[in-house]
């Protein structure tokens, strides 16, 4: 006899659309004979009649086959804190603003759940970073991030004075608003806003992106995934009077206050985050939307005039190429959703 399948459903319960979608997911999974688990903090909104209830702790995902996350990237980052310790893959349904981490859109919801039930998923590993904070040589904090670890000024009116280091060697000293240490997954998040490059998820690398640095050499840098990056907080830039504290943020969720003299070390994470990818959902591609299609759709990039293989095949058959990728993503329910998007970094 096969063991009972269990899946954890997490939603942005402050958004009615996410609650409605989550209830649909719970209903379809339950009807397929899958045991559904929800977090205690979300049980009242999602319904508890036929679900297991688990406290929102790192043990919440233990024994689950998958986590289905309904919301934006911020909701998925919150869910990753539960999924990573258990080694459980995440599948996101995007109800947010950009949704780079999500695999399916609301219009794909029924098909996505059916494929999950049928096991038609591929699991993708995403790099993380492990972050250590040192004071006087001693480790005071250990944490991690999926998207990025950012060191930022604690006071709006004061800049930071920091020295950057790569693999134990000094790189440069900057008066700046901060620095972003990002993964390829995070290259389309905070690092992108700070002027960093877009890195395809399968590329193994670490990114170092300064934030508003006053220096001749302050370019975004891409380094080996085996490198160790470090930032040392000297204090307020250019001898400004009082001390300006710095703040470490990991994925915009976990905060550590930093005193002058603090050292932040960033290296490739020992444990990745697992993302589930579906076949044929959201763009008709072989395993869901390709990252290129996702970029075009999310940033509404102009691609008119493209004469790629898909168009040529359709022309040879005497037909017109069907909308795919960005074109499909901009049609139908997705356009209607724009007025109901959650702000970036939802939780």
Q: Which of 73, 161, 177, 293 is catalytic?
A: 73
User: In 18-34, which positions are buried (b, 16+ CB within 10 angstroms) versus exposed (e)?
Assistant: bbebbbbbbebbeeeeb
Which residues are CB-contacts of 82 (< 8 A; sequence separation ≥ 6)? 8, 10, 56, 57, 58, 60, 61, 67, 88
Whether the Cβ atoms of residue 127 and residue 269 lie closer than 8 Å to each other: yes
73 included as an active-site residue: yes
The catalytic site residues sit at: 73
């Amino acid at each position: 006899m096969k063991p009972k399948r269990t899946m954890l459903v997490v939603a942005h319960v402050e958004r009615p659309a996410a609650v409605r979608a989550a209830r649909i997911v719970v209903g379809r999974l339950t009807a397929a004979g899958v045991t559904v688990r929800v977090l205690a903090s979300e049980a009242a909104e999602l319904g508890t009649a036929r679900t297991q209830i688990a406290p929102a702790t790192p043990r919440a995902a233990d024994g689950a086959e998958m986590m289905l996350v309904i919301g934006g990237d911020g909701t998925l980052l919150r869910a990753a804190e539960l999924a990573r310790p258990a080694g459980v893959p995440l599948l996101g349904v995007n109800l947010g603003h950009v949704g780079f981490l999500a695999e399916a859109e609301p219009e794909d919801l029924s098909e996505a759940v059916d494929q999950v039930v049928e096991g038609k998923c591929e699991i993708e590993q995403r790099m993380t970073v492990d972050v250590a904070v040192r004071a006087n040589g001693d480790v005071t904090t250990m944490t991690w991030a999926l998207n990025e670890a950012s060191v930022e000024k604690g006071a709006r009116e004061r800049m930071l004075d920091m020295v950057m280091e790569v693999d134990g060697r000094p790189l440069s000293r900057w008066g700046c608003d901060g620095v972003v240490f990002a993964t390829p997954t995070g290259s389309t998040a905070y690092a992108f806003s700070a002027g960093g490059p877009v890195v395809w998820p399968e590329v193994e690398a670490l990114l170092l992106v300064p934030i508003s640095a006053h220096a001749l050499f302050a370019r975004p840098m891409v380094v080996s995934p085996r490198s160790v990056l470090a930032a040392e907080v000297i204090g307020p830039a250019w001898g400004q009077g009082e001390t300006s504290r710095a703040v470490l943020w990991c994925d915009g969720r976990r905060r550590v206050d930093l005193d002058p003299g603090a050292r932040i070390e960033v290296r490739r994470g020992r444990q990745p985050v697992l993302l589930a990818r579906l076949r044929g959902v959201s763009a008709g591609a072989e395993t869901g939307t390709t990252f290129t299609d996702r970029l075009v759709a999310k940033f509404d990039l102009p691609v008119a005039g493209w004469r790629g293989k898909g168009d040529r095949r359709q022309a040879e058959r005497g037909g017109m190429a069907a909308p795919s990728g960005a074109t499909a993503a901009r049609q139908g329910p997705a356009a209607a959703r724009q007025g109901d998007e959650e702000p970036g970094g939802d939780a």
